Amino acid sequence: MKIGTRGSALALTQTRQIAARLQGQYPEMHLEIVVIKTSGDIQKDVPLAKIGGKGLFIKEIEEALLAGTVDLAVHSMKDLPAELPEGLQIAAVPRREDPRDVLISGICREFDNLPAGARIGTGSLRRSVQLRDWRPDLEIVPLRGNLDTRIRKVAQAALDGVVVAAAGIRRMGWAEKVTQFIPTEKMLPAVGQGVLCLETREEDEDLKAGLAFLEDKRTRREVTAERAFLRRLGGGCTLPVAAFAEQRGDVLTIRGMVGSLNERTMIRQEIHGSVEQAVDLGTELAERLLDGGGRILLEHLEDGQP
């Protein structure tokens, strides 16, 4: 079986971890990891929002799936647009890793103790708008590249810190580099952050059945709510957007955020309900945010306004 993935160190690590679990479950299976360069990997110096945002790190991999070049794709769920191409499916959703964002700083342990005007690197509008709401004095420095590249920029670009996803740091075994795990109450993660997506062709039902041992039902419910939220906002929305769902017992709580492109406006809401209502809860949360000012932000986006 051929597994398609990006060529970044993190993507390869994640894919190898999934391959190891597959090999453990099916010792006789021959596995081959196929590295596919994506649009997001090629255009490293351009802000994601300007070149299409979500989908840039998976488009070519999905094309390989549809063409039969690979049989299975391993993605970070947060890279996945709300709508999948016809003929593809999310075959399995493994258990979620840490969904939080983290600060990596050479001068300070936590955000509240950063000096006034501290320079913080991130390539994420979602992070930027929440950082500006938390600490309006910070200088946000646009930053892209692989995870290790962004971490090195703390020294190379004279930054006071960078903000990256905890999941990638943990999967790479770099937790000792973290100076603060940022609470989700302070910074909501991206839709699907910390979750891997195992994508296959819809016709490959036997393969989907074979991947069932990797499925985590709780994570599936949570990410289903988050993706329903994203879908209602417009799927490939290029506004700063965040959502995080948590299941506790039979209750599912989802918190969401939408911001403006100029990073001056941020709207947050949360909703609770039954775990069986994941899609409805995500959709209703998006409706509340739209009614609370998000619709105006989307209209400004369509009109080319910040």
The tens digit of pLDDT for each residue in 28-46 reads 999 999 999 987 766 555 5
The tens digit of pLDDT for each residue in 136-188 reads 999 999 988 889 889 988 878 789 999 999 999 999 999 999 999 999 999 99
Inform me whether the pLDDT recorded for 51 exceeds 90: no
Structural domain including 248 reads 217-306
Q: Say what the pLDDT of residue 41 is.
A: 66
Going by pLDDT thresholds of 50, 70 and 90, the confidence category of residue 6 is very high
CATH of the domain at 147: 3.40.190.10
- Average pLDDT, integer, range 275-283: 97
The long-range contacts involving 286-290, CB below 8 angstroms and separated by at least 24 positions, are 286/228, 286/229, 286/230, 286/231, 286/232, 286/233, 286/256, 287/232, 289/233, 289/256, 289/257, 289/258, 290/232, 290/233
Inform me whether the pLDDT recorded for 52 exceeds 60: no
| Same domain, residue pair 223 and 306 | yes
| Same domain, residue pair 205 and 64 | yes
Count of structural domains within the chain = 3
Structure tokens at 145: 């590249």
Going by pLDDT thresholds of 50, 70 and 90, the confidence category of residue 5 is very high
pTM (2 decimals)?
0.92
Enzyme catalytic residues:
79
Q: Which positions ≥6 away from 264 have C-beta within 8 Å?
A: 132
| Distance between CA atoms of residues 206 and 76, nearest Å | 23
Decide if 187 is inside a domain.
no
Decide if 154 is inside a domain.
yes
Helix (H) and strand (E) counts in the chain: 11, 13
| Distance between CA atoms of residues 198 and 190, nearest Å | 18
| Same domain, residue pair 290 and 154 | no
| Same domain, residue pair 1 and 84 | yes
| Same domain, residue pair 72 and 90 | yes
The tens digit of pLDDT for each residue in 111-140 reads 999 999 999 999 899 999 999 999 999 999
| Same domain, residue pair 17 and 83 | yes
